[in-house]
């Protein structure tokens, strides 16, 4: 959402369920959103959490609408979450998985987009291994595009569901200290969270070995730490990131053992954070690599499963908002 | 009878001699016969065709050190005729083509193919580099002696750097035997696996970065090898502030080195990549503002010798893909002169210095000392341009077969009115 025109102000307090809308046609990233817009999404999602927990979670807000999940990269969780979100809103949800490695990638991307566009979709949910691919698609289709994760760029709905999780536990994000730990270099989740937490006024730290930090990360409004003990000190939130096992073969890190010793989250390191610090992880976890199993499963500290639950509600809110007529000024 | 043409009422500019004078220039056949203020004081005889330049500048045609022209094998991106038309429209009368074709130009047959196609096309003068290593694979050096005899103006692996230090050492030593220069795009490939300049913007966009250090390290290494071998070396596409400093020191030491840059590196920065705009994906990548300023300063003080078009035509399918998958490069033949003149408009360079960087200096670097200057008896390769006339670059209107310019819609000043090669008009602007 870089370079988009200055968004019109949104007043979350005007929200009476139907009136408010996002002044964006697509959700391609957190960068470019404003705090009121993020609150609007989270407020709406809060309502959907209650709906999902009730006896009749399904509504007809998106009845007759078509949502296509176009995944160029393997994903079970995110795709299922979006599919469920669409179905709970009464939309027709279709999953398309395209194996990015078996075809000439670029051609498939545009060609698939144009083909789908001809079928008159309402929302295209896209995951792609290349940064910027959803942006490219968004320029070629008439429907709303939601970025479900692109390369190492952004994963906005993950950051939104993380924000909702934090907000429900801590009341607000403003003033919290959040430590994001692990493979920042390859993580779109980290980038989206850094943007969102900064927009909402939280203090963000990144904790990782230098080989897993992208260049100039300090320019993104974060405090950089290479020592978990310093990075976690008095943190309100500890966000662990998944470490891709294939990155452990001496290219970025000498070994899994060494990584866990210095950067894996165990009770010793966690003891430095605030006593009520929440433990989060976008999943899927590598138990014993970036997080100790006991910590991950600690029902008093870990909100990892709740993140999954709230993910559906956040995606419902995004689908709802992007299909409201006045959210698409370009049409 | 020899055709005679006189260009009257022109501002004659010759950076090689420092000439900047109002006057006329007489062409006989393919040669410059006479020039100066007082030609034919009693009127031009009717037997001579007269072209009134109406006060416009008349300078030597541009000599471009670095262009890709698509043949053989990449005719869907560019052909020798389309590249020639594009060059002519840009005021370029001679260009040196990179060997990054399919197949690579690494043997005499390849050179002869390009020479034949250029003769058939007969618009601008096309010279060819030969690869420094077979298939530009960076392992075995090519038959440099035979290739030099067949007309190779220099040796380069073109878009890829010669990375192996032992191979580079031998290439430098061997090429110098035949009076040829090694042209290197300095970039350590192990530090250059990304797709844009490393830094905050790359990090925000989630794109792999190409560190400025990739260029600096390779440049410093190469200069040590130049010192060791006494070879002749030219660094192509200088893009970082520190590279300018490294070259400055090497020249102060007396090493036989020259270098060039291209307009994107003094006219644009990494900010222009914006939201994954693939037309701004270049090699070397667009850098930061401090680098851009250092490039301008390097041109002003002569540390950077020449400006090239770095013409890299790419078809739509190579660019309309996610950024990381997109091809590197932009077309540049038609925008070389106006963007170089932009530095003059902004007061960064005197006019003659700017013109030297695209005429006599690149000609000298190629060892083509008769080109890029206005000399009596020399070839009538000329450009007539209006340095003040504004226009707007339009990608779709470019003569090149590919439209991947990174200056689309940019307002520029300085318009080519006519291009003359060996006395023949190969381009004339029609209003």
Question: Quick one: DSSP state of residue A245?
Answer: G
Show residues of chain A in contact with B204, CB under 8 Å. Answer: 2, 31, 191, 220
| Residue B259 tokens, joined | 């270098």
To the nearest whole Å, the CA of B161 is away from the closest chain A CA by 23
Residue B430 buriedness (CB in 10 A; 0-12 / 13-18 / 19+): exposed
- Contact call for A105 and B321, based on CB within 8 A: yes
Distance CA B283, CA A107 (A): 23
Which candidate, B135, B128, B127, places its Cα nearest to that of B102? B135
CA dihedral B114, B118, B120, B123 (to 10 degrees): 170
Complex confidence, ipTM: 0.90
A2–B contact, CB cutoff 8 A:
yes
A224–B contact, CB cutoff 8 A:
no
Distance CA A328, CA B59 (A): 54
The packing angle between helices A77-88 and A35-53, to 10°, is: 80
To the nearest whole Å, the CA of A47 is away from the closest chain B CA by 32
Phi, psi angle pair for A66, to nearest 5°: -120, 125
Cα distances from B291 to residues B238, B244, B294, B395, in angstroms, run 10, 9, 5, 26
Residue of B nearest to A214 (CA): B203
Q: What is the pLDDT of residue B164?
A: 98
| Fold exhibited by the domain B4-58+380-399+409-428 | Urease, subunit C; domain 1 (2.30.40)
Q: What is the pLDDT of residue A105?
A: 52
* pLDDT block averages, 10 residues each, chain A of length 331: 45 47 93 96 96 91 95 91 97 85 61 88 95 95 96 97 98 97 96 98 98 96 97 98 76 90 96 97 93 95 96 98 69 37
DSSP A49-107: HHHHHSS-----TTTT-EEEEEESS--SHHHHHHHHHHHHTT-EEEEEE--TTTS-HHH
User: Of all residues in chain B, what percent carry a pLDDT higher than 90?
Assistant: 97
A14–B contact, CB cutoff 8 A:
no
| Residue A318 tokens, joined | 């995004």
Residue B222 buriedness (CB in 10 A; 0-12 / 13-18 / 19+): buried
Residues 306-345 of B with CB under 8 A from A: 317, 320-326
> Using omega within 30 degrees of 0 as the cis cutoff, is the peptide bond preceding A45 cis?
no
Which candidate, A37, A46, A33, A32, places its Cα nearest to that of A12? A37
Homologous superfamily in CATH for domain B60-365: Metal-dependent hydrolases (3.20.20.140)
Question: What pLDDT digit, counting tens, does each position of B299-338 carry?
Answer: 999 999 999 999 999 999 999 999 999 999 999 999 999 9
To the nearest whole Å, the CA of A222 is away from the closest chain B CA by 12
- Contact call for A132 and B322, based on CB within 8 A: yes
Q: Judge whether B4-58+380-399+409-428 and B60-365 match in fold.
A: no
B204–A contact, CB cutoff 8 A:
yes
- Sign of the alpha-carbon torsion through B104, B106, B109, B112: positive
To the nearest whole Å, the CA of A6 is away from the closest chain B CA by 16
Q: Which ranges of chain B have pLDDT less than 70?
A: 1, 431
Question: Quick one: DSSP state of residue B367?
Answer: T
Do B388 and B39 meet the contact criterion of CB atoms below 8 Å apart?
Answer: no
A101–B contact, CB cutoff 8 A:
no
Show residues of chain B in contact with A110, CB under 8 Å. Answer: 320-321
A109–B contact, CB cutoff 8 A:
yes
- Contact call for B206 and A188, based on CB within 8 A: yes
In terms of phi and psi (left: phi > 0; alpha: psi -120 to 50; beta: otherwise), the region of B203 is alpha
- Half-sphere CA count of A221, side-chain side, radius 13 A: 19
Domain boundaries defined on chain B: 4-58+380-399+409-428, 60-365
Residue of B nearest to A153 (CA): B206
* Alpha-helical regions (H) of B37-160: 80-89, 108-121, 144-149
Catalytic residues of B: 310
Show residues of chain A in contact with B324, CB under 8 Å. Answer: 130-132, 151
């Amino acid at each position: 959402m870089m370079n988009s025109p200055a968004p019109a102000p949104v007043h979350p307090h005007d929200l009476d369920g139907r009136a408010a809308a996002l002044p964006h046609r697509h959700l391609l990233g957190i960068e470019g959103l404003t705090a009121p817009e993020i609150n609007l999404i989270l407020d709406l999602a809060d309502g959907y959490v209650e709906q999902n927990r009730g006896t009749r979670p399904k509504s007809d807000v998106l009845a007759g609408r078509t949502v296509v999940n176009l995944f160029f990269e393997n994903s079970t969780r995110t795709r299922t979450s979006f599919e469920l979100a669409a179905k709970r809103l009464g939309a027709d949800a279709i999953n398309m998985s395209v194996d990015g490695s078996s075809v000439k990638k670029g051609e498939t991307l545009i060609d698939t987009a144009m083909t789908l566009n001809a079928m008159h979709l309402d929302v295209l949910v896209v995951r792609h291994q290349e940064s910027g691919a959803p942006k490219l698609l968004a320029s070629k289709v008439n429907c709303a595009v939601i970025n479900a994760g692109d390369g190492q760029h952004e994963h906005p709905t993950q950051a939104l569901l993380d924000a909702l999780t934090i907000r429900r536990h801590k009341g607000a994000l403003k003033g919290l200290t959040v430590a994001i730990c692990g493979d920042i270099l390859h993580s779109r989740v980290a980038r989206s969270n850094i943007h969102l937490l900064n927009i909402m006024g939280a203090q963000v730290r990144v904790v990782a070995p230098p080989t897993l930090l992208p260049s100039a990360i300090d320019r993104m409004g974060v405090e950089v730490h290479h020592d978990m003990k310093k990075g976690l000190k008095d943190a309100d939130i500890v966000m662990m990131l998944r470490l891709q096992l294939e990155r452990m073969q001496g290219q970025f890190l000498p070994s899994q053992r060494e990584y866990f010793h210095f950067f894996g989250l165990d009770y010793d390191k966690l003891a430095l954070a605030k006593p009520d610090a929440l433990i989060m992880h976008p999943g899927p976890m590598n138990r014993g690599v970036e997080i100790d199993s006991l910590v991950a499963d600690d029902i008093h500290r870990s909100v990892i499963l709740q993140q999954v639950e709230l993910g559906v509600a956040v995606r419902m809110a995004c689908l709802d908002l992007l299909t409201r007529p006045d959210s698409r000024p370009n049409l | 009878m020899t055709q005679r043409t006189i260009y009257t009422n022109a501002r004659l500019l010759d950076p090689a001699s420092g000439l900047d004078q109002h006057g006329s220039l007489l062409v006989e056949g393919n040669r410059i016969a006479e020039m100066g203020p007082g030609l034919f004081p009693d009127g031009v005889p009717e037997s001579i065709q007269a072209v009134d330049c109406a006060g416009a500048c008349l300078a030597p045609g541009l000599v471009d050190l670095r262009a890709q022209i698509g043949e053989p094998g990449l005719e869907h991106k560019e052909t020798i005729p389309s590249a020639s038309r594009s060059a002519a429209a840009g005021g370029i009368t001679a260009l040196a083509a990179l060997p990054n074709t399919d197949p690579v130009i690494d043997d005499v047959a390849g050179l002869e193919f390009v020479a034949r196609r250029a003769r058939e096309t007969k618009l601008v003068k096309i010279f060819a580099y030969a690869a420094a290593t077979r298939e530009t694979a960076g392992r075995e050096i090519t038959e440099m002696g035979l290739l030099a005899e067949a007309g190779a103006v220099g040796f380069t692996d073109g878009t890829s750097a010669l990375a192996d230090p032992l191979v580079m050492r031998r290439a430098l030593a061997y090429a110098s035997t035949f009076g040829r220069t090694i042209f290197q795009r300095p970039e350590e490939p192990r530090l250059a696996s990304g797709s844009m300049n490393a830094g905050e913007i790359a990090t925000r966009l989630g794109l792999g970065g190409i560190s400025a250090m990739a260029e600096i390290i390779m440049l410093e290494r190469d200069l040590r090898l130049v010192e060791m071998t006494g070879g002749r070396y030219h660094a192509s596409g200088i893009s970082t502030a520190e590279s300018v400093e490294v070259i400055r020191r090497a020249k102060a030491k007396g090493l036989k080195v020259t270098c060039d840059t291209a307009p994107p590196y003094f006219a644009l920065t990494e900010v222009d990549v914006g939201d994954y705009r693939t037309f701004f994906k270049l090699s070397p990548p667009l850098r930061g503002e401090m680098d851009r300023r250092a490039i301008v300063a390097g041109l002003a003080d002569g540390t950077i010798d020449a400006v090239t078009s770095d013409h890299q035509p790419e078809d739509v399918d190579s660019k309309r893909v996610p950024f990381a998958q997109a091809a590197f490069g932009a077309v540049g033949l038609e925008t070389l002169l106006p963007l170089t003149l932009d530095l003059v408009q902004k007061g960064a360079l005197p006019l003659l210095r700017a013109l030297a960087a695209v005429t006599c200096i690149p000609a000298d670097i190629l060892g083509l000392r008769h080109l890029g200057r206005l000399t009596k008896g020399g070839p009538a390769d000329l450009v007539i341009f209006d340095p003040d006339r504004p226009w707007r670059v339009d990608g779709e209107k470019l003569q090149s077969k590919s439209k991947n310019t990174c200056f689309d819609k940019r307002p520029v000043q300085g318009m080519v009115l006519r291009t003359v090669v060996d006395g023949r008009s190969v381009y004339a602007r029609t209003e």
